[in-house]
Amino acid sequence: MKNSIEVIWKEGFLNEKSLVAPKINDLYNQKSKHLVDKMKRMFKVNLIVIVIMAILFLIIYYFLDAIWQGAAVSVLLLLTAWYSIRQKRSIKTLDHGATSLDYLKSFDRSIKDALSEDEKILRFTYPLYFLIAMSTIWSAWNKGPITSKMYQKYPDVIFIGSVPLFAWIIAGVATLLMFYFSDRIYRWDVGLIYGRVFRKLEETIAEMEKLKQG
Amino acid sequence: MSNDFYQTSILPFAAIIIKICRAYTNSQEDFEDYYQEVCLQIWRSKDNFREQCKWSTWVYRISLNVCLTLLKKSKGNGQTYFTSDVLPDVIITENRAFEDESLNQLYVAIRHLSEVDRALILLYLEEKSYQEIADILGTNANNIGVRVNRIKERLKKILDEKFN
């Protein structure tokens, strides 16, 4: 080595053209891209998990000898997956706008629209999942001597179609509660998976707007 | 970020940011990402500047923090990250960011150092005093000199091995 590192450094940077700052045109371009890509990846993984669950439930319910309930859960999950794919397509056709801020804003809007649509659908599907689960539990019990034992032990209990009336009432109330609270359950569910990244999206948009104002 | 702020508070110190970002990136794309993130962070934290130090010191501190954070993030995301010892020569020697070949070689050697050693030697080469280096890195000034000498030895060894 001819020169010391100090000399290399000093002489190297004399008249060094590479020290010209890179142009900053769209400061958040790359950042927005990373964020949207991350969210799209998360949606994709979620979709794959739903499809896997649909298959798994069918297998598990088959072994529980409750194939119809399993088929119902699978169909519901596959419908959810199909609906998510439709929503993803609408995100793909989003207007990229003039800047990354426009794009992020329309991305955020489309996600919020999708979530509110999901909320409407899940108002019915959550109670349905619950009823299917109840039905599975009951059909599993019914195969055993539980019903006859209950008949003997509580002869005063009213049965409707081999199900005690109080069980119908509990299931009915729980279903109504699920129907009523479905939006909150869904928001909690979504927050659990996407909460952090949604907050990040909102923070980025807020920061970009502030940046725009100077 | 207003154009005024960029012109008056960042652009005059662009050389500092460029020198630091180059030491922590292996491609032009990454370099531009890091540079932009540093500029943003300077803008974001401008209100926290209390004039207890020079603005240039503030820029050094933010640039180093951002570069170290981004490097850590890229490790966490499982992105291709090369530690100093396993950095493939093909990648680092092809990254000729400067016209001066000796400078390119020096940067190759610097990228072989650990993250903190890179920061330390950059500040030393920028002729910061040991106390300033310690202030920027948030460390004790006592052993800076010993560490600098050790790093210089290591750099010489790397340069001899790779380029002589």
* Nearest-neighbour CA in chain B from A114: distance (Å): 28
Pairing of strands A159-160, A163-164: antiparallel
A:168-207 residues touching chain B, CB 8 A cutoff:
207
Q: What is the mean pLDDT of residues A90-118?
A: 78
Domain extent listing, chain B: 3-163
Q: Cβ B32–A22 below 8 Å, yes or no? A: yes
Q: Which residue has the tokens 């032009």?
A: B28
Q: What is the mean pLDDT of chain A?
A: 82
What confidence score (pLDDT) does residue B82 get?
41
A:20-59 residues touching chain B, CB 8 A cutoff:
20-22, 24, 27, 30-31
pLDDT at B135 over 80: yes
What confidence score (pLDDT) does residue B86 get?
40
Rounded to 5 degrees, φ, ψ at A96 are: -75, -15
A3, A6, A9, best to mutate vs chain B, most B CBs in 10 Å: A9
Q: Angle A165-213/B28-44 helices, nearest 10 degrees?
A: 90
Element (H, E) at A159: strand A159-160
- Residues whose CB is less than 8 angstroms from the CB of residue A104 and which lie 6 or more positions away in sequence, other chains included: A28, A32, A35, A36, A201, A204, A205, A208
pLDDT per residue as tens digits for the range A135-157:
888 777 766 666 677 777 777 77
Confidence of residue A78 (pLDDT cuts 50, 70, 90): very high
Strands, E, within B36-125: which ranges? none
Rounded to 5 degrees, φ, ψ at B22 are: -60, -35
Whether chain B has a CB inside 8 Å of the CB on A155: the answer is: no
Domain extent listing, chain A: 5-213
* Nearest-neighbour CA in chain A from B87: distance (Å): 21
User: Cα–Cα distances in Å, from A127 out to A56, A64, A78, A122, A196?
Assistant: 21, 21, 17, 8, 27
Q: Which of A161-165, B52-56, B83-87 has the lowest mean pLDDT?
A: B83-87
Q: Strand, coil or helix: what is A160?
A: strand
pLDDT at B63 over 90: yes
- Residues whose CB is less than 8 angstroms from the CB of residue A174 and which lie 6 or more positions away in sequence, other chains included: A130, A134
Confidence of residue A196 (pLDDT cuts 50, 70, 90): confident
pLDDT per residue as tens digits for the range A23-64:
665 556 667 777 888 888 888 898 999 999 999 999 998 888
The whole-model pTM stands at 0.58
CB nearest B18 (choices: A12, A21, A31): A21
CB B107 within 8 A of CB B91: no
Instruction: Enumerate the β-bridge partners of residue A164.
Output: A159
